[in-house]
Chain A
Amino acid sequence: MISEMQTGIQIGIYLVMALSVFAALAAVNLPNIFHAALAFIGTLLGIAGIFISLRADFLALAHILIYVGAVMTLVIFAIMLTQRLSDPNVRQHNNLSAPAFLGGLAFLTLMAKLIYTTPWPVKAAGTVPHVSVMDLGQALMTTYVFPFEVISVVLISALLGAIVIAKKDPL
Chain B
Amino acid sequence: MNATESLRYFLPELFLLSGALISLGLDLFVRNKKLVGFFAVLVLLGTAVFPQVSDLAGKPLELFYGFFTLDAYTCFFRVLTVLILAATVLISISYRELSPSEEGEYYTLLLLTGFGLILMAASTNLLMIFLSVEFVSLMSYILTGFLRKSHKAKEAAMKYLLYGSAASGIMLFGMSLVFGASGSLELSIIRNLSATAPFYGVTLIALILFLVGLGFKISMAPFHMWAPDVYEAAPTPVAAFLTVAPKALGFALMMRVLSTGFLWINWKWSPLLMGLSILTMTVGNVTAIAQTNIKRLLAYSSIAQAGYILMGVCTFNETGVPGVLIYLVAYAFTNLGAFTVVIMVSNSTKSDELLSYAGLAKRAPFLAASLTVFMLSLAGIPPLAGFIGKFYVFSSAIQAGYLTLAVAAAVNSAIAAFYYFKVVRLMYLVPEETPEKIPYPLPLTLALGLLLIGTFAVGLAPSVFIKAVQTALFV
A residues with a Cβ closer than 8 A to B are 110, 114, 117-121, 142-147, 150-151, 153-154, 157-158, 160-162, 164-165, 169-170
Contact = CB atoms under 8 A, between A and B. Distances in A.
Contacts of A145: 3, 64-65
B115 interface: yes
A118 B202 contact: yes
A161 B131 contact: no
Given A158-B138, A170-B101, A114 B146 contact: no
Nearest to B170: A107
B134 A154 contact: yes
Given A144-B65, A144-B127, A146-B6, 14 more contacts: A114-B205, A117-B201, A118-B199, A120-B180, A144-B67, A146-B67, A150-B131, A153-B17, A154-B116, A157-B112, A157-B142, A164-B102, A164-B106, A170-B101
Where chain B touches its partner, the secondary structure class is helix
Interface in B57-85: 63-65, 67-68
B197 to A, nearest CB: 10
B139 interface: yes
Contacts of B157: 165
Interface of B: 2-3, 6, 17, 24, 63-65, 67-68, 101-102, 105-106, 108-109, 112, 115-116, 119, 127-128, 131-132, 134-135, 138-139, 141-143, 145-146, 148, 157, 177, 180-181, 183, 198-199, 201-202, 205
B99 to A, nearest CB: 9
A57 B344 CA distance: 57
Given A114-B205, A120-B181, A146 B65 contact: yes
Nearest to B148: A169
24 contacts: A110-B205, A114-B177, A114-B202, A114-B205, A118-B198, A121-B183, A142-B2, A142-B3, A144-B65, A145-B3, A145-B64, A145-B65, A146-B67, A150-B119, A150-B128, A150-B135, A154-B138, A158-B138, A161-B139, A161-B143, A162-B142, A164-B102, A165-B157, A170-B101
B138 A160 contact: no
A153 B102 contact: no
A169 B109 CA distance: 19
Contacts of A170: 101
A1 to B, nearest CB: 33
B157 to A, nearest CB: 8
Contacts of A150: 119, 128, 131-132, 135
A147 B138 contact: no
Contact of A161 (B64, B68, B138, B199): B138
B140 to A, nearest CB: 10
A114 B64 contact: no
A114 B201 CA distance: 7
B249 to A, nearest CB: 15
B68 A157 contact: no
Nearest to A110: B205
A144 to B, nearest CB: 8
Q: Which of A118, A120, A143, A170 has the most CB of B within 10 A?
A: A118
A151 B115 CA distance: 12
A146 B64 contact: yes
A162 B119 CA distance: 22
Nearest to B138: A158
B3 A154 contact: no
A160 B105 contact: yes
Q: What 5 pairs between A and B have smallest CB-CB spacing? A: A161-B142, A146-B64, A146-B67, A157-B112, A118-B202
B131 A118 contact: no
Given A118-B201, A164-B105, A165-B142, A157 B64 contact: no
Contact of A147 (B63, B67, B142): B67
A165 B158 CA distance: 11
Nearest to B173: A111
Contacts of B119: 150
Contacts of B139: 157, 161
A165 B106 CA distance: 11
A119 B198 contact: yes
A170 to B, nearest CB: 6
A50 B222 CA distance: 35
Nearest to B2: A142
B135 A157 contact: yes
A121 B202 contact: no
Nearest to B21: A156
Contacts of A144: 65, 67, 127
Nearest to A143: B65
B146 A164 contact: yes
Contacts of A118: 181, 198-199, 201-202
B146 A146 contact: no
B134 to A, nearest CB: 7
A164 B142 contact: yes
Contacts of B65: 142-146
Contacts of B105: 160, 164
A88 to B, nearest CB: 23
A151 B146 CA distance: 22
A139 to B, nearest CB: 10
B108 A165 contact: no
B131 A147 contact: yes
A162 B108 CA distance: 13
B101 A151 contact: no
Nearest to B183: A121
